[in-house]
Structure 1
Amino acid sequence: MSRLGTQAPAHEAPAPRRRHHAVFAVAALVLGVACVAAAVTGLLGTATAAGAALGVVLGVIALFGARKAIALAGTILCTAGIAVSVGAASGDDPANAAHGQRPGTTAVTVTHPTWNTRYTWDNGLAIEVSAPRECTPSEYAFPAKVERAVQVSITLVNDTGGDLDTTLLSASEAQFGGRNAEQIFDIDGSCGAGPEPATILPGRTFTYEAAYAVGAAPGELQLVFQPGVGAPKAVFLGTA
């Protein structure tokens, strides 16, 4: 009977050492440095934020490997890159929020023309309005029995390069003290009959008078002019 030899127990071959954690750690660090550099130079955008997010994912995975210090540094840098990118995109500014201003916008102060100043539209048409002066409506004026009447001289300057029909200019909006101010039509009186149709040749001016019913005490008069539908409005403000 032959002697049976003892067989050495079989051992599994050791698995090759994983190196992907180290690769992820280095990749996270490189992405983090790139994102911070982009933030310093102002080259922020969607690509920067996406790269930083990828770096965070790779860094977290690499924390389970041997290169923990590199992975941690890359994760921190990428997180900082995401924070800077999001802040730049939102444009948040505590000073703007304190003043009720929308982020990313600049406060604009609108200055309206007043008496004896000129407003010019993009097509070259310009308008000037004189300071209001009091006038006395006749008994046939409309509307009748107003508290006080003021009259202004309106001058149109035609630098449009073509003929200008004054009937295209809308001047029906007038307010005094926050209420509508009716235009006065006084054919035989000192307040006048208002604008008359006219054609202004290129380079010429045309002046007419218009009167409005206002309150007994001085206040703010607002006159609005618009040379056609859709055109910007010239809003004149001043004391009358």
Structure 2
Amino acid sequence: MNIDLTQSHDVLGAYRGIDVKSIRDEYTDAGTQYALDVLDQKVTTGYLIKLAAFRHIRDLQRQGSVEFPFTYSVKKVDQVLKFASICPNVDTGEPTKLMPWQKFIMAMLIGWRNDNGGKRFSRAIVSVSRGQGKTVLMAIITAYSFLIESLGLSNQDYLVSSINYKQTSKILGYIKSMLAKIATIEPFKSLITDSGLDTRTLSSQSDQIVMSSNNNKLRAISHEAGQYD
């Protein structure tokens, strides 16, 4: 059943017109639960968030079909959220406690996969007010990609970028703090040691992090850096 919201824009009405019982029964992950809570109006959100939640539910219903070659990996969602749960809050040093909307974003970015196993989404626009955890969220995702998704890969370049170097340095600082904490916890401690990542550089002023065993690099750049970067 095709649903066209370009005219009515009635997301909640369209949602009430479909059967989501099988989705409720099968998917209990944090990303899907948030989407259902939004559409059940247990969470107050704007129109665009309702659209994103509805898209997720509809995509779950049609995943794996010929015309929609994407699947949702609950395993991948669990992995990234478990990783996030050990990343320290940069202010307190305690494990990060993500808000439901942050878990939803991570679930969408990491959980949805194409038919080759790669990520479905390569771009996300996160628009929230200042002080709501955007930088921390981006730092967690970057640390996860650099440390976990790079497994088995060599000569990969990961970039941290922003409009100015001050903001870029802030994000990089968050990532370094997270990796320094993670480097004390197994199995990540052994993983970081085997990768050749020198943890001493995590407390330095260097603008890059290097894994010497596979030549994977994470570098900080900014709009101010000019055309060379």
**Is the TM-score greater than 0.5?**
no
- TM-score, normalised relative to structure 2: 0.22
TM-score by length of structure 1 reads: 0.21
Structure with greater strand percent = 1
Looking at CA atoms only, which structure, 1 or 2, has the larger radius of gyration?
Answer: 1
